[in-house]
């Protein structure tokens, strides 16, 4: 099973700042089958990024993903108030069993 470790656990930033979230895999994620989701309280997760760097439909271009192999990054270039949420990474193609990271909470400083 591929284990995904996200860091930091909590990130405290102000609107307008840049956010950098990390996701590290215990083994290589093939073909960059890595996705990022945003989840707000009481809501289902929303797909942001797939294939490590492709934005899902309707996702603003301030969200970007990068990385390959075992190290992946989600960057939010300029934080908007609605971006404060919990973010999860997911690997979905390297093994029959998907796995999620434990999440990074992005909170207002």
Regarding 84 and contact with another protein (CB under 8 A), the answer is: no
Q: Identify the CA nearest to 32 among candidates 101, 90, 104.
A: 90
CB 49 within 8 A of CB 58: no
Q: How far apart are CA 10 and CA 13, in angstroms?
A: 10
Regarding 63 and contact with another protein (CB under 8 A), the answer is: no
Q: Please choose, out of 17-25, 59-67, 73-81, 100-108, the segment that lies near another protein by the rule CB under 8 A.
A: 100-108
Regarding 1 and contact with another protein (CB under 8 A), the answer is: yes
CB 64 within 8 A of CB 72: no
Could you list the residues that contact another protein (CB under 8 A)? Answer: 1, 33, 35, 37, 39, 44-47, 50-51, 56-57, 86, 88, 90, 92-93, 96-103
């Amino acid at each position: 099973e591929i284990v995904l470790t996200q860091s930091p656990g909590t990130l405290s930033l102000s609107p307008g700042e840049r956010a950098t979230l990390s996701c590290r895999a215990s083994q290589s994620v093939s073909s960059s089958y890595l996705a990022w989701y945003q989840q707000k309280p009481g809501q289902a997760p929303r797909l942001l990024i797939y294939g490590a760097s492709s934005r899902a439909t309707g996702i603003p271009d301030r969200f970007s993903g990068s990385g390959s192999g075992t190290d992946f990054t989600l960057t939010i270039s300029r934080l908007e108030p609605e971006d404060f949420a919990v973010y999860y990474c997911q690997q979905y193609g390297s093994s029959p069993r998907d796995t999620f990271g434990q999440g990074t909470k992005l909170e207002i400083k």
